[in-house]
Amino acid sequence: MKFTKCDETPLGIYPVVDRACKLRPLYECGITTAQLRTKDAFSGQALEDEVVEAIKISEAYNARFFLNDFWELGIKHKAYGIHLGQEDIQEADVEAILEAGIRLGISTHTPKEIEIALGFEPSYLAIGPIYEPISKKLTYDPVGIEDLKRWAKNVEYPIVAIGGITIENIQAVVKTKAASGIAMISDVLENGEISKARVVALIEDFETYGN
């Protein structure tokens, strides 16, 4: 089992959004990778319509779009990639995702979970939370910068750092050079909408301190 690679370009600033309509302003700023994570906001046809719209927008900008959780819809509508958590990876039809030629990202929080994820030979690993998350209640202890660097040494796949990363602390994460991508949730927003000024500043930090 070996999933299709993302291309050689770093994943970069990797926003995670809850609505397809938030993708276009991100791509207009130069974002090349994004994820739709709707959780329980939609169901049924409304959910499928949202996924279809997200894929359509992403393809128009030639962006790397990952769909969180809903792997059946990702296969049906030919998403660039699917992102799954540790519990989801045990329940999803991973073989079907592989056979569809869709890329796979997997969440990890501990060395043991990294070991499990590597068994799937995914397209990338997400490691976190790097800091205490802003967007949700803390379930795992923060990984921190030093463990991120240490764990990354044993991983040959692209790494996405996630969890509690903000405009104030992103430079420290990027400077580790351990992450191909930096997942952002709250800090690409202002009053619930995409802040192009924030997104541009984050991209500049990634490009400045990641080289």
- Give me the CATH code for the 12-209 domain, please: 3.20.20.70
Listed ranges 37-51, 92-106, 120-134; the one with the highest mean pLDDT: 92-106
Q: Is 22 a catalytic residue?
A: no
Catalytic residue among 107, 123, 180, 198: 107
Structural domain spans, the chain = 12-209
Q: Is 196 a catalytic residue?
A: no
Closest CA to 68 of 89, 99, 45: 89
Q: Give the model's confidence band at 41: pLDDT under 50 very low, under 70 low, under 90 confident, else very high.
A: confident
Q: What is the pTM of this model?
A: 0.96
Catalytic residue among 39, 136, 137, 153: 136
**pLDDT for res 39:** 81
User: Does pLDDT of 138 surpass 70?
Assistant: no
User: Does pLDDT of 134 surpass 70?
Assistant: no
Catalytic residue among 37, 149, 175, 196: 37
Q: Is 103 a catalytic residue?
A: no
**Which residues does 89 contact at the CB level (< 8 Å), separation at least 6?**
106, 116, 117, 120
Closest CA to 202 of 179, 176, 180, 171: 171
61-85 pLDDT tens trace: 999 999 999 999 999 999 999 999 9
